Amino acid sequence: MANISDQPRVMGRPERIFVSVDSSTGRSTISFAPSDAGTPFQREGDADGSHAMRDAQAIVARYPGATIHGPHFHAAPTRDRPRRRS
């Protein structure tokens, strides 16, 4: 059984639940609209977003009418290393 701190905290009825996955780090994020419905929640090691999608579906079960948007995959921008000039 999952620990309560391992679950997204929802403080109000969300209208929309957004699932995004940073493919460069393997971290998924769940966020809400309106934003005061809950704070964004991240999971490490969820590169395919499946765990975040299960979390989002569990939230929709508690708050019927909320919609899930995603998963949306992106990669964090990387910075090139500075090159030494000769």
Beta strands per DSSP E along 1-86: 16-22, 27-33, 41-43, 67-74
In a domain, 3, yes or no: no
Q: How far apart are CA 84 and CA 86, in angstroms?
A: 6
Q: How far apart are CA 81 and CA 45, in angstroms?
A: 26
Q: How many helices (H) and strands (E) does the chain have?
A: 1, 4
In a domain, 82, yes or no: no
Question: Among all chains, which residue has been given the structure tokens 């500075």?
Answer: 82
In a domain, 86, yes or no: no
**pTM score:** 0.79
Number of structural domains (the chain) is 1
Where do the H-state alpha helices sit in the chain?
50-62
32: domain range?
13-74
pLDDT digits (tens, 9 = 90+) for 11-53: 999 999 999 999 999 999 999 999 999 999 999 999 999 999 9
